[in-house]
Amino acid sequence: MIRTLLTNENYQWDVVAQYVTAETVLRGLVMTVVLTILCMTFGALLGLVIAVLRASPLRPVRILAGAYVTFFRGTPVLVQLIFWFNIAALYPNLAIGIPFTDVSQDIDVNRLISATTAAVVGLSLNQAAYQAEIFRGGFASVDKGQIEAADSLGMSRGTKLRRIIVPQSMPTIVPATGNQFIGMFKETSLVSVLGVAELLQSVQLIYARTYQTIPLLIVACVWYLAMTLLLSYPQSLIEKKFSRTRARVSNEPALAPTPTELMGDAK
């Protein structure tokens, strides 16, 4: 394998070296990073909301949240992206206004949903479904005795979630979210079908003009691999940190809360 990589002229390593730092490729790389950060941020926030709704005592709310997760996990991401890009075929015009008044603003959906907007919306909604399951798994990892203790102190549902459930579920949530972040970076290549000028689309535009398909695809692979390795290192550090935190917490005896903390949590 090493011999053919070095001796097969069809790889055109000189072309790879020429384009790996080309301005068009670097702009596509920046767009890929921006899309990854935006979609992970929106997906994580929406996923947290859905995870909380799935734990709601109201059955209709749980059913709706479960249906959201089932739909977005059960349909291909590429289909979802194309659907959002063509959403104007269903709703060409929308009106946003104040109910029971004449105050409204018409919106041209075709102009609003650009290729980049459709990419962010589609990837964020899809990511939210997976993040909701990650959060739900993290919540389920909290010891039931902790929740029962919070109930005995009279904590409200919001206080219990903020003070007990979320902090203790972080060792489970953070590593899985790191894996999703790396996966999202590679998943952004799907938006090339919408014409978004991310990394893959950038190299496709070049080899459509130069017909140097293989070396330009190698350029894309080099950057995807380099960024994945770059993101994997801090992820491994975070995983080690939370592994030590979990081990320390499980070995330390529980400290009795002070009367002030008891009164504050009860409020």
* pLDDT tens, residue order, the chain (267 aa): 889 888 888 888 999 999 999 999 999 999 999 999 999 999 999 999 999 898 888 899 999 999 999 999 999 999 999 999 998 888 888 788 787 777 777 788 888 888 999 999 999 999 999 999 998 888 777 777 777 777 777 777 777 777 777 777 777 888 888 889 999 999 999 999 998 989 999 999 999 998 999 999 999 999 999 999 998 888 777 777 766 655 554 554 444 455 555 455 444
Q: Which residue is listed with tokens 């650009």?
A: 114
Q: 105 forms bridges with which residues in the sheet?
A: 96
What whole-number distance in Å separates Cα of residue 172 and Cα of residue 228? Answer: 21
pTM to 2 decimal places? 0.80
Helix axes 23-54, 199-210, angle to 10 degrees: 150
Contact in structure between 93 and 106 (CB atoms under 8 Å): yes
The count of residues in the chain is 267
Question: Measured between alpha carbons, how far is residue 1 from residues 6, 163, 236 in Å?
Answer: 9, 55, 30
